[in-house]
A and B are shown apart, each in its own frame.
Chain A
Amino acid sequence: MNPIDQGPVKTGRPEAIKAVPVRHPGRWAGAVVVAVLAAMLIHALVTNPAFQWSVVGDTLFNDQILHGLLVTLELTALAMVMGVIGGIVLAVMRLSPNPLLSGVAWVYIWVFRGTPVLVQLVFWNFLAAIWPKLSIGIPFGPEFVSGSTNNLIPVFVAALLGLGLNEAAYMAEIVRGGLQSVSEGQTEAAHALGMSRFQTMKRIVLPQAMRVIIPPTGNETISMLKTSSLASVIALEELYQAGHNIFSRTFQTIPVLIAVSIWYLILTSILTVGQYYIERHYARGANRTLPPTPLQRIRGLFTGRRKPSKAHDVVPGLEGGGHL
């Protein structure tokens, strides 16, 4: 029974194994249960009149909703810019050898991570209760410009401060982790070549830290998009508050909530795709071959599975062969 003698293989390699695969009856049973539940849900969504799908469609492009959408996008973008810049500053302060700088950063992060963002939002909105007047001048000296706090900080700015300053505390920890993940040998090599501290940070350390910083920052952005709906408590008319205003007038609560949710889903989906490409960009040099783009994955679903010629052609999530 020597396979080399009888096999058709010319190279003398033993015949490829053709075995009956292990059956998984449990998986089949589970799949049936899930399929039935999914069918029930779809049936309910389509037939239950309470969903009022025509109202959902109308509400999606309602002017008030579209305006709220714009406010949500602005608030998310600006709060994240504040968070990232503040986070980098706080991270550098935390890593500073100066105990005053690192101490101040520590206390900031402690306070802003340790209290609910909802409370912080309301706090910034009521800033006028503590300081009715804000001014620019010499500390403990004369003032140059001053104005009423309520005029200087409208609701949008209060929401921005609440979300942005809170985000900075979280981003600080993310950036710090990224900077510390770059080995000291990299800094030494750059210094040995005569590069300055700033050049070393900008050209060598940050680009490598980005690979660690980007994925959680993407998550933070997606999370911020949804957290921005909390600004409704200080009556900022962002996406959720716009919906709230509509259904408290029309009492069509469910369809309006669905319309609002659809917008949130669309936005988070776009952000997810964007994050994927940014991560791919910063993976240069870290992976021998870049991961496939979503398009390549979809193509891989049809071609790659039949002949996975190289490791990176394998569809992630389906590596083990996708049968039930």
Chain B
Amino acid sequence: MSDLAKTPADATRAMVRAEGVHKSYGLVQVLKGIDLEVKQGEVFVLVGPSGSGKSTFLRCINHLEKINAGRLYVDGDLVGYKQKGDRLYELKDSEVARQRRDIGMVFQHFNLFPHMTALENVIEAPVQVKGESKSAAKERGMALLERVGLADKSGNYPSQLSGGQQQRVAIARALAMQPKLMLFDEPTSALDPELVGEVLDVMRGLAEEGMTMVVVTHEMGFAREVGDALVFMDGGVVVESGDPREVLSNPQHERTKLFLSKVL
């Protein structure tokens, strides 16, 4: 354990840094030692079969899941804990909430707040968490909805929007907190094939603006075109990693080959 307890200083260059991350539910080991590094401004793609632990790992990054062993840093800070000497201390709820402010997350099933309009969804966190004034938040919120192409739907409730539109509102909602890192958990898996493109377009735009993104996806075309780095996971471990174009066209491991032969 002591060699893992490095000072955060040597983790600062990376936006996300995982060192031997383990996670289990009871007796089931979901993550069996994940080591990886996501650099600032990078689009980092996680692929793998379902049950491989990729979504769980993503949820560990903003402490929606607690890790059981290893270390996880975001922008140089330990996630969910603080270290004094050799000891780890759990962060209080309010401190965890503070860490999460800077990490945007987009869910497979959108998870928009159904009792609020699109605009109310977007301004909720800036007003409630950051204490922004309502008028300022509304102005920024409208600009964000404009950016995802939904300015005309600002007054609609989620139930009145298509899946693709809901997911674009969800992206705008996450961006409203001006995060330094965006996590995408299979953002297009629940969408009709026709609607996948509009969400990927928004994500592509974000990547071009230099947003650091960790994306769990089955969209290999997106990974190849937009991704800067790719990790293939299976059974809770990283099987293969590297440049997406390299890994996708010339996989080295049998497991990767088998998986890609089925999805591509």
Chain A interfacial positions (CB closer than 8 Å to B): 183, 185-186, 188-197, 199, 203-204, 207-208, 282, 284-288
Contact = CB atoms under 8 A, between A and B. Distances in A.
Contacts of B125: 193-195
A189 B116 contact: no
Interface string B87-113: 000000110011011011101010111
B116 A193 contact: no
Interface of B: 62, 64, 93-94, 97-98, 100-101, 103-105, 107, 109, 111-117, 124-125, 128-129, 157-160, 173-174, 177
Contacts of B159: 285-288
Contacts of B124: 193, 195, 203
B23 to A, nearest CB: 16
Nearest to A283: B115
B90 to A, nearest CB: 15
Contacts of B129: 193-195, 199
B98 A197 contact: no
Contact of A191 (B100, B115, B128, B157): B100
A288 B160 contact: yes
21 contacts: A188-B107, A189-B111, A189-B112, A189-B113, A191-B64, A191-B97, A192-B62, A192-B100, A192-B174, A193-B177, A194-B97, A194-B100, A194-B101, A194-B125, A196-B94, A196-B97, A285-B115, A285-B116, A285-B117, A286-B115, A288-B159
Lowest 9 CB-CB distances: which A-B pairs, in order?
A194-B101, A189-B111, A193-B125, A192-B105, A185-B111, A285-B157, A285-B115, A285-B114, A194-B100
A204 B98 contact: no
A199 B97 CA distance: 11
A193 B100 contact: yes
A252 B141 CA distance: 69
A285 B112 CA distance: 11
Nearest to B109: A185
Contacts of B174: 192-193
Given A185-B111, A286-B159, 20 more contacts: A188-B64, A189-B112, A190-B113, A193-B100, A193-B101, A193-B124, A193-B173, A193-B174, A194-B101, A195-B97, A195-B124, A195-B129, A196-B93, A203-B124, A208-B113, A284-B157, A285-B116, A285-B157, A286-B114, A288-B159
B16 to A, nearest CB: 15
Nearest to A192: B105
Nearest to B94: A196
A285 B128 contact: no
Nearest to A202: B128
Contacts of A197: 93
A288 B64 CA distance: 32
Contacts of B107: 185, 188-189
Contact of B115 (A188, A196, A208): A208
Contacts of A185: 107, 109, 111
A193 B122 CA distance: 10
Contacts of B64: 188, 191-192
Nearest to B116: A285
Contacts of B111: 183, 185-186, 188-189
A204 B114 CA distance: 9
Contacts of B173: 193
A58 to B, nearest CB: 50
A204 B97 contact: no
A57 B101 CA distance: 66
Contacts of B103: 192
A284 B114 CA distance: 8
Contacts of B160: 288
Contacts of A207: 115
Nearest to A203: B128
A286 B112 CA distance: 12
A156 to B, nearest CB: 39
Nearest to B103: A192
Contacts of A183: 111
Max count, chain A CB within 10 A of own CB: residue among B104, B107, B111: B111
B91 to A, nearest CB: 13
Given A192-B62, A192-B64, A285-B158, A186 B113 contact: yes
Nearest to B112: A189
A119 B124 CA distance: 48
Max count, chain A CB within 10 A of own CB: residue among B98, B124, B177: B124
Nearest to A287: B159
Contacts of A192: 62, 64, 100, 103-105, 174
